[in-house]
Amino acid sequence: MRRVLRRLGELAAASAGRRLLLCEALVALSAASIAIGVLPFRTVTATAQRIAPGPAPSRAKRQAACARVRWSVSVWARCLPWRPLCFPQGLAAQWMLRRRRIPSVLYYGAAPHAVKAIAAHVWVCDGDVAVVGGEAARGLAVLARFPAGEPARPASDLKR
């Protein structure tokens, strides 16, 4: 709880733009966590199938927006009491990017694991740039991607 209060204090001291971005990330992470907890998987993934509306912004604007989304989602993911893992972080990031007309792909991957039977992970990319979760995606086979029509990119080719 102290972490949340400290983050709220930082939020109050932040610029208006950062406050709005952090509030958006908090709402998106909360909504994603609730959706994953109470809705069927196909309903949750149906939201990830939606395509960003309209023309995408320039590459420079996309890179800046991806960095801001990555930062804001990671701030809350580290300090919220329920510790949102990769799936809610991925959904939240994808929703935030879609609002900015940035086409992104949410990947669901898995690989055999020495301790667990299988390790699964979710990550979101804008082209070959990992927005969230890319650092843990190496070595995972892509099982699904949302939107499904997007070409698969090997996790080894991701940039940050």
pLDDT at 66: 97
Which pLDDT score is estimated for 16?
Answer: 86
Q: What confidence score (pLDDT) does residue 4 get?
A: 67
| Sign of the dihedral defined by the CA atoms of residues 25, 125, 149, 145, in that order | negative
- CA end-to-end span of the chain: 31
Token duo for residue 23: 């509030």
pLDDT at residue 91 in the model: 97
What values do phi and psi take at 27, rounded to 5?
Answer: -65, -45
Average pLDDT across each block of 10 residues of the chain; the chain has 160 residues. List them in order. Answer: 70 81 95 96 92 90 96 93 94 96 94 77 94 90 86 60
